[in-house]
């Protein structure tokens, strides 16, 4: 996707602090962190929203979640706790239409989110 910001980060056309990558997934620090840890875990493949997922994507989605948990562990926040969120479309506040799992932690988070 030529105009997608996260595709550009994945393709190294825009800088980001990448904390993990493999052949299917890239994870990088959010530019406006909402906590001491705020990492976005994204698939290399451009998928606009969760509504666009297909049955064949089940393993990929599982990998995104397990990678977020592994990053949380590596950052020392797994035991204390953290939040993982996918926003979808307007009412959730989604602004980048390339699915991304927010991993937020390192402080006590409020619930409900509002
Ligand atoms: P969402 O609102 O769920 O679509 O989240 C998009 C996230 O992308 C926000 O938390 C932004 O702070 C983050 N973001 C926007 N631009 C960049 C960028 N260039 N590098 C890293 N994160 C970004
Ligand atoms: Zn994209």
- If you write DSSP's letter for every residue of 38-49 in order, what string do you get? EEEEEESS---S
Indicate the average pLDDT of the chain. Answer: 97
Residues 13-41 have a mean pLDDT of 98
Residues 21-46 have a mean pLDDT of 98
User: How large is the C-alpha radius of gyration of the chain?
Assistant: 14
Count Cβ atoms below 10 Å from residue 20 Cβ, excluding itself: 15
**Percent of the chain clearing pLDDT 70 (strictly above):** 100
| SS3 at position 75 | coil
Share of the chain residues as helix, strand and coil, in percent rounded to the nearest 5:
30, 20, 50
Ligand 1: residues with CB < 6 A are 5, 14, 16, 30-32, 40, 87, 93-96
pLDDT at residue number 1: 74
Confidence of residue 2 (pLDDT cuts 50, 70, 90): confident
| SS3 at position 110 | coil
User: Which atom from ligand 1 is nearest to the alpha carbon of 97?
Assistant: 4
How many residues comprise the chain?
A: 114
The structure tokens listed for 19 are 């904390």
36, 80 Cβ separation under 8 angstroms: no
Cα of 114 from ligand 2 centre, angstroms: 27
Residue nearest to atom 16 of ligand 1 (CA): 31
Active site residue 100: yes
């Amino acid at each position: 996707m030529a105009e997608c910001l996260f595709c550009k980060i994945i393709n190294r056309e825009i800088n980001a602090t990448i904390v993990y990558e493999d052949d299917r997934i890239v994870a990088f620090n959010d530019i406006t962190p909402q906590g001491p840890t705020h990492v976005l875990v994204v698939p290399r493949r451009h998928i606009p929203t969760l509504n666009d997922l297909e049955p064949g994507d089940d393993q990929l989605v599982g990998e995104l979640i397990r990678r977020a948990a592994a990053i949380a562990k590596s950052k020392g926040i797994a035991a204390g706790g953290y939040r993982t969120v996918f926003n979808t479309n307007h009412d959730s506040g989604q602004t980048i239409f390339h699915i991304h799992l927010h991993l937020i932690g390192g402080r006590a988070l409020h619930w409900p989110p509002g």
